[in-house]
Structure 1
């Protein structure tokens, strides 16, 4: 390219999509290029990246640097780092997180604090893995019942269409609740990871 990179840049109090020099982007580290089997041509990738300049919607689990780069290249917002970070684990109740989080930020010694932070992160992984499939299922059901309602209307069955739309609304409400839960988990994870870095 022309020696510049568009990326999510960490500023003092927030992250923002910005155009910087390659040196500023690298910060002395080696840069690795990722190859995509299917992606846009370079000019389109650049235009997509420029369209989000100034954006301040960074989120560790939903909209991080890799999400942004993958979206620019393929149109799909995805992060292999996050998928690898969230392993399959057993189910745990959300309320069990609060005590771990409270303990993690108390004035314990460094070793104990690190253990508590790791425990809190592990708890979050468990809840995330239980919640995300439910969220995806709810989104699929919203689309399914929308199609059912349309088919019912085409067959002049308003009664079935109303019933289908009612099911759709139930799943939509459920999806909104699950999305808020995931966003809360993402926020907690980011806070814990930042605290972990600062305490290391």
Structure 2
């Protein structure tokens, strides 16, 4: 497995950059694209870089798919409750509106922030940055938006919201008939899709592409 400073037999189109080891801070030269998927430090052997070919395409495809599912999750009711012929249904927006109207605005704001605002912002930012990069040009304001994306990531909590919905459904089944809505199925599919989206996201490759197009 090659080390970061190994520049022998470099292909003609390879570029070189300086990179610091995350373990020992050894500054060394990285050839890009590397000869192996995993590049180790020439001094301590720690992993300096993992190469994921075509990662930007995969992230963009997963982001577009997640965005479509997210629209479905907000456009239809989550569940419908049938209590002796009276059918009640609600959506994500309806649940937030109900929290606001029942005088718990702090909870309503937190739910809206973690389940609507931040996930929407994350997916739209990724589409805005990745789509132009794949078309060969640098989107305006990309560095600032990438920093905003990094700061907002811990605030996306759709999975916590889904867990709360499932717990509520289990409790309500003892008192009424619960009919799952299209939004619930979309949320169930959305959670692993967003996890895959974030798992394929490699900011270092985005920054490198931005530098190449500067």
Considering the TM-score relative to the shorter chain, is it more than 0.5? Answer: no
Which structure carries more helix by proportion? 1
Higher Rg of the two aligned structures: 2
TM-score range, shorter chain: 0.3 to 0.5
